[in-house]
Chains A and B, each alone.
Chain A
């Protein structure tokens, strides 16, 4: 099993652009969560999706959106990028949304906004 895979690993974007980050969960995991980790801080919850539906949303502006596909993979979209969006974006998968014990994190996508 390849674990949770995220792509791309690194990305550089310009202010105002849009970005899409991708996550493939562990086989059999149906829940995907997204976290933002700004340098020097702990991860901060953005979204959780289960069975293609949004189950939770953190305190992020509407510029952030996500979706989950029938194969349980997920995309995180960020529009109108700001310098402050520069961060490591982590994806975590679990069997179901309450299985915080079973969270498995990916290696993340490092986004730099210039």
Chain B
């Protein structure tokens, strides 16, 4: 079965602390993986995708095929990072995204 699991519903940290949002996937093949973010009162938007190996707003994510994980990391959290984060998978040769249940990140001052 194709599935994305985000085990944490809520992650709370203080400003300046490191952050790691966990994402595990189940897929028999080479997936395309994404992180989406939804800030308060804003629409869902793409944060980053694994294929481009980019860093956006200080966030990075590395695909680990052995552990089937795509964890999102940031070394020093900022208050403006507080948002809902969704990990998503796009199966090969399909036209859809499979989302996890999301993790709410709260960054306290």
A residues neighboring B (CB under 8 Å): 3-4, 31, 33, 35, 40-45, 48, 50, 55-56, 58, 90, 97-98, 100-101, 103-108
**Shortest beta-carbon contacts, A-B, top 8:** A42-B99, A45-B96, A97-B95, A105-B44, A100-B90, A56-B95, A48-B95, A107-B43
Residues 85-109 of B, flagged 1 when their CB comes within 8 A of A and 0 if not, give 0101010001111111110000000
B32 within 8 A of A: yes
The number of chain B residues with a CB under 8 A from chain A is 21
B99: chain A residues within 8 A (beta carbon):
35, 42-44
B12 within 8 A of A: no
Question: In whole angstroms, how far apart are the Cα atoms of A50 and B43 in the complex?
Answer: 23
Question: In whole angstroms, how far apart are the Cα atoms of A43 and B102 in the complex?
Answer: 9
A107: chain B residues within 8 A (beta carbon):
43
B101 touches A42 (CB 8 A): yes
B43 touches A108 (CB 8 A): yes
Contact of B97 among A45, A50, A97 (CB under 8 A): A45
